[in-house]
Amino acid sequence: MKKTGSTGDLNGFLDAGSFIEGSLHFEDTFRLDGRLKGRVVSRGDLVVGERGNVDAEVEVGRLFVSGTVKGRVVAQRRVEIAAGGKVLADLETPSLVVEDGAVLHGLCNMSGDAAAAASPAIKGLGSGEKIARLPLSKKG
């Protein structure tokens, strides 16, 4: 990952070995190397370090992942998943970068406005309908 996600002031840091259960609200940038379970809400940047583990509903401006994120993610501007990072979540964002060696498992909705796209069902499909998953062909 080229950037650390710190375009603004670092408002907080949760170090490895620490655990939060509940809601996290912050401005600017928060770096997480520990574990968080619950909800994250911010217009700023969330940086999940290599040892970071998030199991939450995440609504942020930008998300940078080198660790693991599970749950549901809505990013207003961008999501970047570094090599070794794992996002096991339904994801809504207008811009997505997935480096070689990263894992993304879940539904991905990339629209021009992630906030407007934030809904449990994909437009045109009822919540009970399934999406056909087609294999990606490899070019020889």
pLDDT tens-digit readout, 25-58: 999 999 999 999 999 999 999 999 999 999 999 9
Q: Tokens representing 86?
A: 């794992």
**How much is the pLDDT for 11?**
86
How does residue 131 score in pLDDT terms, banded at 50, 70 and 90? very low
Task: Retrieve residue 138's tokens.
Answer: 């490899």
| Residue 92 located in a structural domain | yes
Q: What are phi and psi of 48, to 5 degrees?
A: -100, 110
Q: What is the spatial distance between Cα 126 and Cα 128, in angstroms, rounded to a whole number?
A: 5
Per the structure, the complete domain to which residue 83 belongs is given by: 25-115
88 falls within a domain: yes
pLDDT for residue 124 is more than 50: no
Q: Does 3 map to a domain?
A: no
pLDDT value of position 112:
66
Residue 36 belongs to a domain: yes
User: Is this prediction's pTM over 0.85?
Assistant: no
Residue 63 belongs to some domain of the structure = yes
- Count of domains for the chain: 1
Q: What is the dihedral of CA 20, 115, 77, 69, to 10 degrees?
A: 30
- C-beta of residue 34 within 8 angstroms of C-beta of residue 48: no
Burial (0-12, 13-18, 19+ Cβ within 10 Å), 126: exposed
Give 54 or 11, the one with higher predicted confidence.
54
Structure tokens at 112: 């021009």
Q: Count Cβ atoms within 10 A of the Cβ of residue 16 and give its class: 0-12 exposed, 13-18 middle, 19 or more buried.
A: middle
% of the chain exceeding 90 in pLDDT: 71
Q: Does any domain span residue 131?
A: no
Within a domain: residue 87? yes
15-32: average pLDDT: 95
- Inside any domain, residue 81: yes
pLDDT band at 8 (very low <50, low <70, confident <90, very high): low
